[in-house]
Chain A
Amino acid sequence: GQSLEQPSEVTAVEGAIVQINCTYQTSGFYGLSWYQQHDGGAPTFLSYNGLDGLEETGRFSSFLSRSDSYGYLLLQELQMKDSASYFCAVIGDSSYKLIFGSGTRLLVRP
């Protein structure tokens, strides 16, 4: 089968750093994406890793290790508006269809 594992909930303090891990087991692998979804909103794209290593976009970074079937999303200088659900998603083949994890709910406290 195909599965992605990520923690269901994470709580952190405003201004802190938080890391959300994702491990995957899929029949094919092109890359790992991360999406953010606020309550009542649509998922929005955050990052994509097709190769091993770290990708940085402002306060957010994403890491991939293909040999370990593992990735993470790193959020720095947390703000209250970062409270949302974060989904890792594998692109399994050239059709670009996504296989999603069940999501991590991040709560940022003052």
Chain B
Amino acid sequence: DVKVTQSSRYLVKRTGEKVFLECVQDMDHENMFWYRQDPGLGLRLIYFSYDVKMKEKGDIPEGYSVSREKKERFSLILESASTNQTSMYLCASSAAYEQYFGPGTRLTVT
């Protein structure tokens, strides 16, 4: 069974803080993705990575950065958290068309 884990289920941060969200997958997948999910908007791609140290911007990369130093780990960084980044963050990995999602991190920025 593929397992994708995320470092926290719930997180509360203050405006201006630097926030790290971590994602780990155990299936040796090349591709990893970070999405945010907001009501009525579906899932929107923030960044993705198709190899170690490689990253590509998704549809809404502003205010975010990512790091992939090891194949199994993909980190999302909010350089200076803002209230409009309050959302559910979902990580996924894939080898092909089927993506496997982690349980999500609900981030609240106050």
B98, A45: Cβ atoms under 8 Å? yes
B102, A42: Cβ atoms under 8 Å? yes
- Chain A residue numbers with a CB within 8 Å of B99 are 33, 35, 43, 45, 96, 98
Segment of B11-19, B36-44, B60-68, B77-85 in the binding face: B36-44
Per-residue interface assignment for chain B, residues 16 to 51, with 1 indicating a CB less than 8 Å from any chain A CB and 0 otherwise: 000000000000000101010000111111001010
Contacts between chains A and B (CB distance < 8 A), count: 58
B97, A95: Cβ atoms under 8 Å? no
- Chain B residue numbers with a CB within 8 Å of A44 are 101
Bound CA–CA A44/B42 (angstroms): 14
B residues lining the A interface (CB < 8 Å): 31, 33, 35, 40-45, 48, 50, 56, 58-59, 90, 94, 96-104
